[in-house]
Amino acid sequence: MGSYRFILSGGGTGGHIYPAIAIANELKRRHPDAEFLFVGAKDRMEMEKVPQAGYKIEGLWITGIQRKLTLKNLLFPIKLISSLMRANSIVSKFKPHVVIGTGGFASGPLLKMATVKGIPCVLQEQNSFAGITNKLLKDKVEKICVAYDGMEQFFPKDKIVKTGNPVRSDLVELKVTKSESLEYFDLSPKKKTLLVLGGSLGARRINQLVADHLAYFEELGLQVIWQCGKGYYETYKSNQSETIKVHAFLNSMDKAYVAADFIISRAGAGAVSELCLVGKPTFFIPSPVVAEDHQTKNALSLVGHNAAIMIRENDLDKQFKSAFEAVFNSPEKQAELSKNSKALALPNATADICDEIEKLLK
């Protein structure tokens, strides 16, 4: 038998891209001669991140539907037809054995055309509230790999497999030491460290919160690793100091997690899965502008197990300091949050997803 061919499609944000790359890496480890092709949306971050990971990618002219009437919405039917035609051409030419969709605009047209051609497809849904693309595809795919319980409200029960979300391989088994990690960020081993994560694109409200509380963190004796996002770096880079390290993007997440004693983060599905593995006391500040408020639902899945703290953006001014100090001043609470979050981790997610994909190769 010749080598297998896989198409992976997903993008728009790191939460869709990195799971796809993790799945491809594991499949490549199992099948070194396999061929891989990614399909993403033109002008989105996957067109940069996927080639950096060593894979070829094709772009579709597709965007999501805006919530208000805009010119982009008027173009959507044209973009959709164009993307379906392009997806049909890609699938016909590449002839994949299996197609994997991790969500995002481009995966809709790509998996739609793959299912029309009878090619087996697997969905990977990262969030506790399913995305619209995956919901539209649910009846035509063979398997749907999920990270949360209760997904029967969105998908056929017989297709659901709870695997968890793929995370970067270097996070499954953290090999760097605390001292190495602190040295990497030029920080002191004598101080506690706060890691701030706003997602791959940055988070305006979290950045404002951190900027307003730099003096407060200094009073507590904290040093800060602050990932502010590419679009916000120019605004906040002047805050760089001996104890405040400002980064547009963190390329060494393993070192960032090991260095951290406390974490402030958005509640994207990838971040939640990673933070369960890491097991550090975490304060989730969900984005209120994502579809179906799914980040709040992701965070609540941990809060319900006493595994994290959640503060809504609207409540930050009133609640942040008291919530932070309640954890900062209590080693017992810190240990409890760490223990409970680690108990929710699913470290074998990538392997389990690839097991389901391999079942379809027959």
- For the chain, the first-to-last Cα distance in angstroms comes to 11
* Cα 279 to Cα 339: distance, rounded to the nearest angstrom: 7
Q: Where are the beta strands (DSSP E) in 75-200?
A: 98-101, 121-125, 143-146, 160-162, 192-197
Annotation: binding site: 13-15, 127, 168, 200, 295
Distance CA(126)–CA(176), nearest Å, equals 27
Closest CA to 107 of 193, 216, 184, 7: 7
Cα separation, 40 vs 12, in Å, equals 8
Are the CB atoms for 194 and 328 separated by under 8 Å? no
Q: Which run of H or of E encompasses 84? A: helix 71-94
Q: b/e map of 345-358 (b: 16 or more CB within 10 Å)? A: bbbebbebbbebbe
User: Which segments are annotated as binding site for UDP-N-acetyl-alpha-D-glucosamine?
Assistant: 13-15, 127, 168, 200, 295
